[in-house]
């Protein structure tokens, strides 16, 4: 049997109290052993939950503080070892800033981790008697990873240009709901839908530029995909049916790029089919695995299976069950196993025996990573965190709401809602201030190609006196903008038998959402530098 090659990496973790050098506890006792009202070892013992009798026993020792903390470090009431961070919280409550300043440098430690296991897909059969969910929260017995930031990229491809590929029902819903869940978990989420191959490459490589040491990175993809020679390929919306590798995006290539960023966690969730394409004459591609570990690949189905969608649902089968579990405070692998169990249980009730879908995952994670782990900014480089925050905020900036028409007859207000990072909804609210009804009322918002606009909601076509007409127009493909977004607004209505119209041309909406940074991302990838600064144009009169 061949020897398994061991790899090692360093991880920043909260220092367990039991790992402190005895000399540190000895010196800490010099701060707390002297009697100070409400600030000595007795006050600390009360905050740690000790009774007076226990404290009196500790006081018989030469160093009561050290003795008490050694005892407290062995308490596992919360299912995990006590850390220096927890002790610092107690000392801050006591306003013992001198002791806090002394202990602060010992709050985090770098640990060396060795791993000899190569990630393998869990292709083991799921037994019916094992379909039981794990606990909503689980105790943690390993080091708590220090997370400097959490960044996620969510892609949903549904509107394919090829007719035979344009049959998916839920990738946009799946992407939106998964993005919302990750946002609740404090991830900085970039969510984009219906990307071409070049747009996928720009987005993914720019996403990787936002990663760094201590960052949790998550990528979720919903759409068409296939497997070839053990590699998984994501299909962009401008693809044809040739299934050529150069026309697709390899998921393992994405992982390789993410691994180069020295992240603490790389989680890729591929919600797509994994059936081999009909062409078999291509040479296999080999992707090198990184040495840091903590890489998790989650698939909505096993190799040579398809991912199913059910009619009359909001989400695809895999996303439906993923969303039930993704917010839980348990190890990520436990979540993935429970999702697989729920999908298997759902399919077992299906009367169609031709449906076979079994989610699986592969992992080389050696620590207990959880999507609920809190962010601790400032542990490493504050500059990286703040730059990442500024870029995320810039990519999610919407135009301010404004009133574009106000006269004695009409009031038209324009508001904006982000649906995805590259899709914006415009809410148009028209109020009839006259004493007569407005019939056959139409409000149009017109954009120039390549950006698209579609009416997604309208409250009616007659506006009675004092009432409102509400209309939602969805503007999509914002990543394709080469300049500022300018729209034309028009109103048509029948007023007492007379056709009335109003127009406002080239209303400047600036660079909303992802359009404000996508040109810069494009230059990052193609030119290796930022683009020239756009010339500021005066805002159009409203």
Q: What are 410's strand-pairing partners?
A: 432
The yes-or-no verdict on residue 532 having pLDDT over 60 is: no
Band (pLDDT 50/70/90 cuts) for residue 270 is very high
Q: Where are the beta strands (DSSP E) in 157-285?
A: 188-193, 215-222, 225-228, 231-234, 249-250, 265-271
CA 87/CA 73 separation, integer angstroms? 10
pLDDT of residue 282: 52
Name which of 44-48, 75-79, 366-370, 487-491 the model is least confident about. Answer: 75-79
- Tokens for 140, please give them: 């943690």
**Mean pLDDT of the 257-271 span:** 94
CA 406/CA 251 separation, integer angstroms? 52
User: CB count, 10 Å around CB of 472?
Assistant: 18
User: What are the distances in angstroms from CA 293 to CA 153, 253, 263, 266, 297?
Assistant: 20, 16, 10, 9, 12
The pLDDT tens digits for 387-443 are: 888 888 999 999 999 999 999 999 999 999 999 999 999 999 999 999 999 999 999
CA 146/CA 144 separation, integer angstroms? 6
The yes-or-no verdict on residue 64 having pLDDT over 50 is: yes
Percentage of residues in the chain with pLDDT exceeding 90? 51
- Tokens for 175, please give them: 């992407």
pLDDT of residue 123: 47
User: CB count, 10 Å around CB of 171?
Assistant: 25
pLDDT of residue 530: 55
Strands 188-193 and 249-250: unpaired
- Do 13-110 and 402-527 agree at the fold level? no
The yes-or-no verdict on residue 526 having pLDDT over 80 is: no
Residue 349: DSSP 8-state: T
pLDDT of residue 299: 96
- Domain 149-278+290-395's class? alpha beta
Give 34 or 326, the one with higher predicted confidence: 326
The pLDDT tens digits for 66-121 are: 888 888 877 655 446 788 888 888 888 888 888 888 888 888 776 655 444 444 45
- Tokens for 194, please give them: 């219906």
CA 209/CA 521 separation, integer angstroms? 9
- Please give the distance of CA 445 from its chain centroid, rounded to a whole number: 32
The yes-or-no verdict on residue 155 having pLDDT over 90 is: yes
Fold of domain 402-527: Immunoglobulin-like (2.60.40)
Q: Which residue's structure tokens are 């004092």?
A: 466
pLDDT of residue 388: 82
The yes-or-no verdict on residue 492 having pLDDT over 60 is: yes
Q: Which residue's structure tokens are 């782990």?
A: 373
pLDDT of residue 134: 47
Name which of 252-266, 332-346, 491-505, 528-542 the model is least confident about. Answer: 528-542
pTM of this structure: 0.75
> What residue segments make up the domains of the chain, in order of their start?
13-110, 149-278+290-395, 402-527
User: CB count, 10 Å around CB of 294?
Assistant: 25
- Tokens for 70, please give them: 């050694």
User: What SS3 state is found at 426?
Assistant: strand
Q: What are 458's strand-pairing partners?
A: 471
CA 271/CA 318 separation, integer angstroms? 7
Strands 215-222 and 149-156: parallel
pLDDT of residue 80: 63
Give 264 or 19, the one with higher predicted confidence: 264
pLDDT of residue 78: 47
User: CB count, 10 Å around CB of 396?
Assistant: 18
Fold of domain 13-110: Death Domain, Fas (1.10.533)
User: What are the distances in angstroms from CA 521 to CA 138, 388, 389?
Assistant: 40, 13, 16
Mean pLDDT of all residues in the chain?
84
The yes-or-no verdict on residue 203 having pLDDT over 90 is: yes
The pLDDT tens digits for 206-221 are: 899 889 889 999 999 9
As a dihedral over the C-alpha atoms of residue 35, residue 39, residue 41, residue 47, rounded to 10 degrees, the angle is 150
């Amino acid at each position: 049997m061949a020897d398994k090659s061991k790899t090692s990496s360093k991880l920043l973790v909260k220092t367990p109290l039991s790992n402190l050098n005895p000399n540190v506890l000895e010196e800490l006792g010099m701060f707390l052993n002297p009697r100070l009202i409400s600030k000595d070892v007795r006050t600390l013992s009360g905050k740690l939950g000790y009774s007076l009798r226990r404290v009196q026993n500790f006081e018989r020792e030469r160093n009561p503080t050290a003795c008490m903390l050694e005892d407290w470090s062995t308490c596992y009431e919360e299912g995990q070892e006590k850390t220096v961070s927890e002790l610092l919280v107690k000392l801050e409550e006591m306003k013992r800033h001198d002791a806090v300043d002394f202990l602060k440098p010992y709050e985090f430690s770098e640990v060396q981790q060795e791993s000899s296991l190569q990630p393998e897909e869990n292709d083991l059969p799921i037994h019916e008697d094992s379909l039981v969910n794990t606990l909503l929260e689980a105790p943690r017995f390993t080091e708590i990873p220090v997370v400097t930031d959490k960044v996620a990229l969510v892609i949903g491809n549904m509107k394919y240009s090829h007719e035979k590929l344009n049959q998916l029902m839920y990738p946009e819903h799946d992407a939106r709901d998964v993005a919302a869940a990750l946002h609740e978990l404090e991830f900085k989420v970039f969510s984009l839908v219906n990307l071409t191959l070049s747009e996928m490459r720009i987005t993914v490589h720019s996403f990787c530029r936002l990663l760094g040491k201590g960052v949790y990175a998550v990528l979720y993809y919903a759409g068409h995909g296939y497997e070839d020679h053990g590699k998984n390929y994501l299909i962009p919306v401008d693809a044809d049916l040739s299934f050529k590798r150069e026309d697709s995006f390899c998921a393992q290539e994405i992982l390789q790029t993410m691994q180069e960023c020295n992240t603490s966690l790389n989680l890729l969730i591929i919600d797509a089919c994994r059936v081999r394409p009909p062409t078999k004459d291509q040479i296999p591609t080999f992707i090198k695995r990184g040495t840091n570990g903590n890489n998790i690949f989650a698939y909505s189905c096993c190799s040579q299976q398809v991912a199913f969608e059910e009619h009359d649902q909001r989400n695809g089968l895999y996303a439906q069950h993923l969303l039930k579990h993704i917010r839980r405070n348990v190890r990520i692998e436990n979540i993935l196993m429970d999702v697989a169990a729920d999908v298997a249980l759902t399919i077992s009730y299906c009367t169609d025996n031709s449906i076979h879908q079994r989610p699986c995952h592969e992992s080389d994670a050696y620590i207990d990573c959880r999507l609920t782990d809190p962010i601790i900014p400032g542990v490493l480089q504050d500059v990286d965190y703040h730059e990442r925050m500024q870029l995320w905020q810039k990519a999610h900036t919407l135009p301010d709401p404004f009133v574009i028409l106000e006269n004695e007859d009409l009031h038209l207000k324009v508001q904006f809602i982000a649906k995805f990072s590259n899709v914006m909804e415009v809410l148009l609210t028209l109020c009839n201030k006259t004493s007569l009804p407005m019939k056959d009322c139409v409000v149009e918002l017109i954009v120039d190609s390549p950006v698209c606009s579609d009416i997604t909601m309208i409250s009616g076509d007659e506006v009675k006196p004092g009432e409102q007409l509400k209309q939602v127009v969805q503007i999509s493909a914002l990543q394709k903008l080469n300049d500022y977004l300018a729209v034309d607004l028009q109103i048509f209505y029948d007023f007492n038998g007379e056709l009335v119209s109003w127009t406002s041309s080239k209303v400047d909406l600036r660079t909303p959402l992802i359009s404000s940074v996508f040109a810069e991302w494009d230059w990052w990838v193609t030119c290796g530098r930022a683009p020239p600064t756009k010339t500021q144009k005066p805002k159009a009169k409203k």
